[in-house]
Amino acid sequence: MDNKFPGKDISDEDLKTKFPLAAKKNKNHFSSFKVAGVEFGKQLVTFVGPNMVESRDLILDVAKNVQKIGADFLRGGAFKPLTFPYRNSKYNETREDGIKWLLEAKNKYNIPIITEVMEEKFIPLVAEVADIIQIGSRNMQNYPFITACAKTNKPIMLKRHYGSSLRDWLGAAEYILIEGNQKVILCERGVSAPHTHRSTSRFLLDLQVIPAAKEVTHLPVIVDPSHATFWRPWVKPMALASVAAGADGVMLEVHPDPENAAVDPLQPIDYSEFDKLLPQMKNIYNNLK
């Protein structure tokens, strides 16, 4: 690997000493593991659903529709890192109930699920139901917590903290790999928008981190353009751009009534938008193969 470019924050030495497990061993090294029958690296993998598991009716409706359209995984948070502590009947986590409804949706519509866990005491509950455990951006460097998640030996999606470098992100992945858990998926979800970009976005999708990460690690890299853009009209172009940049998968917020979503209503797309976007993303992915 050529790591002579001085702008990179990872050196050849780092690859050997700091990320021996996450580092690529040769140019074509890629971890093509399977989760619930879905093989990373062989197809564009999609993680689709609402931001929050708002209710039983919502998650069953989303599961049914996105499975029919062709989503690989159903996403949705029952345990949600909400930015503000003030709750009301709508803006509120559904917690254990939400996990129960996710399981019902998974069984009824035969779609595997990915969901976040935020507290160590809920790891056994989430690990029992989820096909992939999501570690949210805010917990990316909570090392005792990610170690505890890794010990379940469940596949883990590690979302990049919006203030972290690629080096920090891979360091966190190494904490999972060192536990013998090899099913780690990296998810770029936007970085804190620098001052110059504040007028366009809360976060800035770091498209460049896709080729940068894939240059040094064998782990699959996926992108969440919903959180990165925070704005519905930009989700589609950024999803397509992510695939063009080499992403192995895309996480998308999809809601039947986006404007009335309980959390982040500016970012979800609806069923018909997802239905149009999916073949377009697959087209780009398959053309790159």
Binding site for ligand PEP (CB under 6 A): 51, 77, 81, 116, 136-138, 159, 189, 227
Per DSSP bridges, beta strands 191-192 and 184-188 are: unpaired
Give min distance, CB of 189 to Mn ion, in A: 9
Give min distance, CB of 169 to ligand PEP, in A: 12
Give min distance, CB of 6 to Mn ion, in A: 35
- Residues 272, 256: Cα–Cα separation, whole Å: 9
List the single partner that 77 binds among ligand PEP, Mn ion, none, CB under 5 to 8 Å by kind: ligand PEP
List the single partner that 237 binds among ligand PEP, Mn ion, none, CB under 5 to 8 Å by kind: none
- Long-range CB contacts for residues 282-288, cutoff 8 Å, separation at least 24: 282/44, 284/240, 284/243, 284/244, 285/43, 285/44, 285/243, 286/44, 288/243, 288/244, 288/246
DSSP code string of 128-178: HH-SEEEEPGGGTT-HHHHHHHHTTT--EEEEPPTT--HHHHHHHHHHHHT
Interface with Mn ion (CB under 5 A), residue total 2
Are residues 108 and 60 in contact, defined by beta-carbon separation less than 8 angstroms? yes
Give min distance, CB of 232 to ligand PEP, in A: 16
> Closer to ligand PEP at the Cβ: 159 or 183?
159
List the single partner that 183 binds among ligand PEP, Mn ion, none, CB under 5 to 8 Å by kind: none
Nearest to 251 by CA among 196, 198, 190: 190
- Within a 10 A sphere around the Cβ of 150, how many other Cβ atoms? 23
- Residues 214, 198: Cα–Cα separation, whole Å: 28
Binding mask 220-259 for Mn ion (x = CB under 5 A): ----------------------------------------
- Residues 164, 130: Cα–Cα separation, whole Å: 26
> Closer to ligand PEP at the Cβ: 112 or 136?
136
Residue nearest to ligand PEP (CB): 136
Beta pairing partners, 250: 46, 223
> Closer to ligand PEP at the Cβ: 23 or 142?
142
H/E run at residue 39: strand 38-39
Give min distance, CB of 251 to ligand PEP, in A: 7
> Closer to ligand PEP at the Cβ: 111 or 132?
132
Beta pairing partners, 121: none
List the single partner that 159 binds among Mn ion, ligand PEP, none, CB under 5 to 8 Å by kind: ligand PEP
| SS3 of the chain: helix, strand, coil, percent, to 5 | 40, 15, 40
List the single partner that 279 binds among Mn ion, ligand PEP, none, CB under 5 to 8 Å by kind: none
User: Of 1-60, which residues contact Mn ion (CB under 5 A)?
Assistant: 51
List the single partner that 64 binds among ligand PEP, Mn ion, none, CB under 5 to 8 Å by kind: none
- Within a 10 A sphere around the Cβ of 160, how many other Cβ atoms? 27
List the single partner that 189 binds among Mn ion, ligand PEP, none, CB under 5 to 8 Å by kind: ligand PEP
Give min distance, CB of 126 to ligand PEP, in A: 13
The residue ranges that bind Mn ion (CB under 5 A) are: 51, 264
